[in-house]
């Protein structure tokens, strides 16, 4: 481990004391912050040359690479996706739990396991393919009881998983459990867990999709994932359950391998990188490739530490009991601000009026930049990402609350959306294909659509055909709204703005995004 | 043979003009004169008087050497000034499109739309154009709906009838005199066509605008629902009951009263008690 200066130690100690005395942080938030500060004193990674100049800056000050506060000595992979199906079948020796035999035990066992699934947020980012997990037990009790139990289950999750980067999956095929889950999320209007419905043109029935859309218009979830597309990209057969593929949607909208997850996620700030380039050619051939190389080597170093030195895979019961497998982990090569990069480069070429998402030349430059990144990733090899062919998985990151003038992933900036939804869809269909580990677009929908959920169904089914990966809708007037990927209640943001305590960490992020990211100003469709 | 029609507007995605997501084509011109018309500027064809030209702030309108008013779509800022000043219930912003050209505008929305709805004005003033347009739509499996006042006898137009999946039809008033006072026309044909369409399962929706001072909505809703009840097993016809609102109507009718919500709820219950399963209040 490398030495650090006493100055840095003392500065960190000051910060720790501030955390201890903070009037606004909850106890759990204090503990997490203390751990992060302690971790910040460690220097164990073999950092690539040139990293510091790209990483150690504020985003408003030209930061080009961001590691999303993963810390200096990662003690676990960032995102963990346990094989809950195996847990249901075999129970857990470590937790002294036999396989559940009815709905009561199934829910109880899951709630216990959630408390032992680590992640960067210290909460489980994936809580399971809940329809298939519960379906075998659903007829043990009458429907009213099943409904009540699932309602309590979801309430328990919302009150104990204290941030909304936590995700449940249902679909693509309809099930009784899936239907009850949709009813329950519609009733509860809670932010946690996030929910995705996998949609398949053949397996997903019109009724099941309509039930999903009704819930979404009511409470902003589920979102809708292009099942055939993810299914093609993640090998391994139907590990999640019959016809459900070997992938999950976790955290915001991250496609990840089942029974594994993601070691790490770093992101490129494409707009800031553009500021270092003379023009589009300089960007694509010189400036960007250099940054790509540094970020990839930084991720390699993080992954190497997690796998070879942290001891996580040797000692954690999830790995020992086969609920996760080291070789089912990949890593997420993230990016934000494609729109800002394109607009900056177009301006440098004297074409400032040609904007990303509106002008063909500008949008085509966006495609060119993505092709550069994609080609780089296909060349780069990491020995531990075997599940994804030795490469990382590209990820259109949704941004963090402190991002200013940085659009999530490849999104068109809020306030500049094309007048017509169809033109908007036609732009994003060109970008979704690059991102197996997640991208998505969000559409607030006019309230009159409540009368015609088939309108949304047609758009979803059309989008799947056009290679759009992931879509979210919410009603322009609902309380639960989607910030960038996660969900927050408007009423909770109001509370926080009034200086009151709120239970979910993500509410504060939502408040930041409301001011910095203008998320309440999205164009209503 | 290719047919043309004056196209007022194309809405590429619509959630309110039939089932699912549809592209809607609004044609210009109408044979009725409904007092409560919400889009009076779609009623007449432009007579090129030129009154609107000077009012355009964007230079999108000009008069050519032959005295025709020309419209430049690219320059238009859609401020509607021209429509407001036109003394003839017309609009200068009309494109004359062939069925093929119209279809090409619709096709761009595939695969996001399940169908197309043609509305107006009164779209059935252009039956040959519609037949050709719908035939093209059917080739790509798009559902075809007509939004009409019901005056055209579709059965006398087999080329159009065969490619029309459904009709959304206005029952403006049940009583012929009331209907005449409201539209300048009787309603015998409309009611006959409504029943004939219901009999063959092509009637998808009926609509009544509730304007208490001119329309006996209670009678209209009751009689319409009763007349349709025997056919609902062929297609579950939807009844849309629409409250009159003054927005957009001509000045002389803008002072008419809007119906109150309890009355509308009463009408909805009435339609249901007569057997209509799906009733929508707007
Ligand atoms: S709406 Fe009419 S007046 Fe306004 S810019 Fe267009 S053509 Fe001109
Ligand atoms: S749109 Fe109206 S005002 Fe303008 S030229 Fe035609 S008839 Fe005259």
Q: Where are the beta strands (DSSP E) in A304-450?
A: 329-336, 393-396, 441-445
pLDDT at A402: 81
Phi, psi of A157 (to 5 degrees): -60, -45
- b/e sequence A13-36, b meaning 16+ C-beta within 10 Å: eeebeebeeeeebeeebeebbeeb
Q: pLDDT band at residue A274, thresholds of 50, 70 and 90?
A: very high
CA of A387 to the centre of ligand 1 (A): 58
Q: Domain of B241?
A: 4-42+94-281
**A1: its two tokens:** 């481990």
pLDDT at A401: 79
Q: Do B194 and B102 reside in the same domain of the chain?
A: yes
Q: What average pLDDT score do residues A442-471 get?
A: 90
Tally of domains within chain B: 2
- Rg of chain A taking only CA atoms, in angstroms: 22
Q: B193 in a domain, yes or no?
A: yes
pLDDT at A513: 75
Would the CB atoms of B20 and A457 count as touching at under 8 Å?
yes
Q: Do B254 and B179 reside in the same domain of the chain?
A: yes
Identify the nearest ligand to the CA of B43 by its number.
Answer: 2
Report which DSSP code applies to A283: I
Of B120 and A337, the one with more pLDDT: A337
Atom number of ligand 1 nearest to Cα B83:
2
Q: Do B165 and B99 reside in the same domain of the chain?
A: yes
User: Distance between CA atoms of A409 and A373, rounded to whole angstroms?
Assistant: 13
A412 pLDDT above the threshold of 80: yes
Q: Is the CB of B70 under 6 A from ligand 1?
A: no
CA of B93 to the centre of ligand 1 (A): 8
**A21: its two tokens:** 């005395």
pLDDT at A188: 92
Would the CB atoms of A420 and B20 count as touching at under 8 Å?
no
A145 pLDDT above the threshold of 90: yes
Would the CB atoms of B113 and A452 count as touching at under 8 Å?
no
String of DSSP letters for A291-340: HHHHHHHHHHHHHHIIIIIS-HHHH-HHHHTTSS-GGGEEEEEEEE-HHH
Q: Do B60 and B131 reside in the same domain of the chain?
A: no
Q: Does B57 touch chain A (CB under 8 A)?
A: no
Q: pLDDT band at residue A443, thresholds of 50, 70 and 90?
A: confident
With CA atoms as reference, the chain B residue closest to A459 would be B112
Identify the nearest ligand to the CA of B87 by its number.
Answer: 2
Q: Do B38 and B57 reside in the same domain of the chain?
A: no
**pTM of the predicted model as reported, rounded to 2 decimal places:** 0.91
Task: Report pLDDT digits (tens) over A4-14.
Answer: 999 999 999 99
User: Distance between CA atoms of A81 and A83, rounded to whole angstroms?
Assistant: 7
Instruction: Answer for the pair B147, B119: CB distance below 8 angstroms, yes or no.
Output: yes
Residues of chain A contacting residue B114, judged by C-beta atoms under 8 Å apart? 454, 458
Give Cβ neighbours of residue B17 (< 8 Å, ≥ 6 apart).
Answer: B11, B24, B117, B119, B145, B147, B168
Q: What average pLDDT score do residues A294-319 get?
A: 97
User: Distance between CA atoms of A131 and B149, rounded to whole angstroms?
Assistant: 48
Cis peptide before A274 (omega within 30 of 0): no
Q: B48 in a domain, yes or no?
A: no
Would the CB atoms of A462 and B113 count as touching at under 8 Å?
yes
Q: Do B219 and B137 reside in the same domain of the chain?
A: yes
Task: Report pLDDT digits (tens) over B131-140.
Answer: 999 999 999 9
Which residues in chain B land under pLDDT 50? Answer: none
pLDDT at B1: 64
**Which CATH number does the domain housing residue B241 bear?**
3.20.20.70
Q: B47 in a domain, yes or no?
A: no
Q: Which of A417, A422, A447 to mutate to test the interface with B (most CBs of B within 10 A)?
A: A422
User: Distance between CA atoms of B87 and B48, rounded to whole angstroms?
Assistant: 11
User: Distance between CA atoms of A270 and A340, rounded to whole angstroms?
Assistant: 7
CA of B6 to the centre of ligand 2 (A): 14
Q: CA dihedral in degrees (B195, B197, B203, B209; nearest 10)?
A: -50
Phi, psi of B146 (to 5 degrees): -110, 135
Would the CB atoms of B15 and A446 count as touching at under 8 Å?
yes
User: Distance between CA atoms of A16 and A489, rounded to whole angstroms?
Assistant: 30
CA of B81 to the centre of ligand 1 (A): 6
Q: Do B71 and B147 reside in the same domain of the chain?
A: no
Q: Do B70 and B143 reside in the same domain of the chain?
A: no
Which domain-ending residue is among B85, B107, B137?
Answer: B85
Q: B219 in a domain, yes or no?
A: yes
Q: Is the CB of B69 under 6 A from ligand 1?
A: no
Instruction: Answer for the pair A240, A248: CB distance below 8 angstroms, yes or no.
Output: yes
Q: Do B62 and B148 reside in the same domain of the chain?
A: no
pLDDT at A472: 92
Task: Report pLDDT digits (tens) over A68-113.
Answer: 988 899 999 999 999 999 999 999 999 999 999 999 999 999 999 9
Q: Do B207 and B125 reside in the same domain of the chain?
A: yes
Atom number of ligand 2 nearest to Cα B92:
1
Q: What average pLDDT score do residues A357-379 get?
A: 97
Q: Do B137 and B263 reside in the same domain of the chain?
A: yes
Residues of chain B contacting residue A466, judged by C-beta atoms under 8 Å apart? 111
A:B CB pairs within 8 Å:
48
The proportion of chain A whose per-residue pLDDT surpasses 70, expressed as a percent, equals 100
Q: Which of B145, B136, B148, B149 is nearest to B116 (CA)?
A: B145
Give Cβ neighbours of residue B72 (< 8 Å, ≥ 6 apart).
Answer: B59, B60, B61, B62
With CA atoms as reference, the chain A residue closest to B114 would be A458
Q: Which of B129, B182, B183, B178 is nearest to B151 (CA)?
A: B183
How far A448 CA sits from the closest chain B CA (Å)? 8
User: Distance between CA atoms of A220 and A204, rounded to whole angstroms?
Assistant: 20
Provide the mean pLDDT of chain A.
93
Would the CB atoms of A451 and B12 count as touching at under 8 Å?
no
Among A47-51, A160-164, A231-235, B99-103, the minimum mean pLDDT is found in A160-164
What number is the ipTM of this complex?
Answer: 0.90
pLDDT at B213: 86
Residues of chain B contacting residue A455, judged by C-beta atoms under 8 Å apart? 13, 15, 20-21
Task: Report pLDDT digits (tens) over A475-523.
Answer: 887 788 777 777 788 888 888 887 777 777 778 777 777 777 777 778 8
Of B92, B94, B96, which is best to mutate to test ligand 2, by the most ligand atoms within 8 angstroms of its C-beta? B92
Would the CB atoms of A449 and B13 count as touching at under 8 Å?
no
pLDDT at A332: 98
User: Distance between CA atoms of A193 and A164, rounded to whole angstroms?
Assistant: 6
Task: Report pLDDT digits (tens) over A158-169.
Answer: 999 988 889 999
Q: Do B232 and B204 reside in the same domain of the chain?
A: yes
Residues of chain A contacting residue B19, judged by C-beta atoms under 8 Å apart? 452, 454
pLDDT at A153: 98
Residue A429 to residues A227, A416, A426, Cα–Cα distance (Å): 15, 17, 5
Per DSSP, the three-state class of B89 is: coil
């Amino acid at each position: 481990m490398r030495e650090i200066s006493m100055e840095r130690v003392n500065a960190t100690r000051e910060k720790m004391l501030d955390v201890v005395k903070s009037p606004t942080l909850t106890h759990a938030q204090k503990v997490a912050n203390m751990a992060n500060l302690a971790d910040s004193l460690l220097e164990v990674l073999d950092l690539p040359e040139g990293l510091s100049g790209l990483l150690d800056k504020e985003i408003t000050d030209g930061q080009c690479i961001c590691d999303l506060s993963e810390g200096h000595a990662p003690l676990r992979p960032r995102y963990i996706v346990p094989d809950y199906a195996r847990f249901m079948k075999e129970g857990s020796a470590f937790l002294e739990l036999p396989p559940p035999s009815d709905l009561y035990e199934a829910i109880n066992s899951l709630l216990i396991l959630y408390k032992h699934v680590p992640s960067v947020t210290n909460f489980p980012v994936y809580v399971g393919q809940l329809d298939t997990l519960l379906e075998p037990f659903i007829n043990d009790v009458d429907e009213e009881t099943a409904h009540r139990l699932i309602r309590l289950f979801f309430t328990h999750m919302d009150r104990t998983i204290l941030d909304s980067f936590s995700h449940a999956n249902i679909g693509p095929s309809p099930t009784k459990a899936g239907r009850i889950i949709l009813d329950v999320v519609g009733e509860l209007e809670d932010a946690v867990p996030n929910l995705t419905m996998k949609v398949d043109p053949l397996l997903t029935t019109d009724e099941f999709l309509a039930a999903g859309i009704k819930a979404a218009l009511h409470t902003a979830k589920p979102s809708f994932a292009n099942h055939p597309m993810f299914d093609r990209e993640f090998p391994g057969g139907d590990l999640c359950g019959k016809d459900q593929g070997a992938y999950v949607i976790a955290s915001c909208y991250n496609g990840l391998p089942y029974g594994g997850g993601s070691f790490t996620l770093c992101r490129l700030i494409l707009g800031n990188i553009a500021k270092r380039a003379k023009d589009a050619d300089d960007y694509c051939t010189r400036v960007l490739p250099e940054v790509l190389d540094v970020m990839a080597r930084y991720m390699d170093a993080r992954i190497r530490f997690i796998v070879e030195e942290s001891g996580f895979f040797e000692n954690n019961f999830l790995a020992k009991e086969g609920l996760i497998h080291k070789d089912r982990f990949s890593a997420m090569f993230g990016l934000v601000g494609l729109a800002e990069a394109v607009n900056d480069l177009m301006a440098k070429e004297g074409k400032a009026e040609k904007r990303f998402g509106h002008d063909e030349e500008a949008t085509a430059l966006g495609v060119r930049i993505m092709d550069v990144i994609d080609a780089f990733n296909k060349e780069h090899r990491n020995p531990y990402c075997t599940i994804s062919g030795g490469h990382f998985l590209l990820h259109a990151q949704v941004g963090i609350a402190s991002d200013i003038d940085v659009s999530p992933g490849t999104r068109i900036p809020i306030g500049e959306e094309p007048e017509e939804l169809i033109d908007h869809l036609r732009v994003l269909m060109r970008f979704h294909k690059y991102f197996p580990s997640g991208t998505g677009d969000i559409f607030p929908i006019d309230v009159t659509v409540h009368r015609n959920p088939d309108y949304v169904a047609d758009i979803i089914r059309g989008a799947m055909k056009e290679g759009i990966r992931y879509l979210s809708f919410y009603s322009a007037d609902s309380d639960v709204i989607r910030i960038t990927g996660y969900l927050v209640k408007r009423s909770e943001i109001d509370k926080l703005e009034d200086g009151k305590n709120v239970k979910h960490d993500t509410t504060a992020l939502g408040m930041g995004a409301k001011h910095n990211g203008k998320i309440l100003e999205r164009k209503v469709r | 043979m290719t047919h043309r029609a004056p196209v007022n507007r194309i809405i590429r995605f619509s959630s309110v003009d039939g089932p699912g997501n549809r592209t809607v084509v609004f044609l210009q011109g109408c044979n009725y004169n409904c007092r409560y018309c919400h889009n009076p500027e779609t009623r007449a064809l432009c007579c090129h008087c030129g009154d609107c030209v000077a009012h355009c702030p964007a230079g999108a309108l000009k008069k050519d050497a032959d005295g025709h008013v020309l419209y430049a779509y690219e320059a238009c800022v859609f401020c509607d000034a021209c429509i407001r000043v036109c003394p003839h219930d017309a609009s200068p912003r009309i494109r004359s499109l062939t069925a093929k050209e119209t279809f090409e505008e619709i096709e761009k929305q595939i695969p996001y739309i399940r169908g197309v709805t043609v509305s107006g004005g009164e779209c059935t003033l252009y039956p040959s154009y519609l037949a050709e347009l719908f035939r093209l739509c059917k080739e790509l499996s798009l559902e075809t709906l007509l939004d009409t006042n019901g005056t055209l006898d579709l059965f006398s137009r087999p080329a159009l009838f065969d490619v029309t999946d459904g009709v959304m039809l206005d029952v403006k008033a049940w009583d012929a005199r009331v209907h005449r006072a409201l539209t300048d026309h009787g309603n015998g044909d409309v009611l006959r066509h409504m029943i004939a369409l219901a009999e063959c399962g092509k009637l998808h929706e009926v609509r009544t605008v509730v304007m208490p001072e001119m329309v006996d909505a209670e009678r209209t809703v009751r009689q319409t629902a009763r007349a349709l009840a025997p056919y609902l097993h062929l297609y579950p016809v939807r009844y849309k009951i629409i409250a009159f609102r003054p927005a957009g109507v001509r000045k002389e009718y803008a002072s008419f009263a809007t119906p109150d919500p309890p009355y509308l709820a009463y009408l909805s219950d009435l339609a249901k008690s007569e057997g209509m399963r799906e009733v929508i209040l707007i």
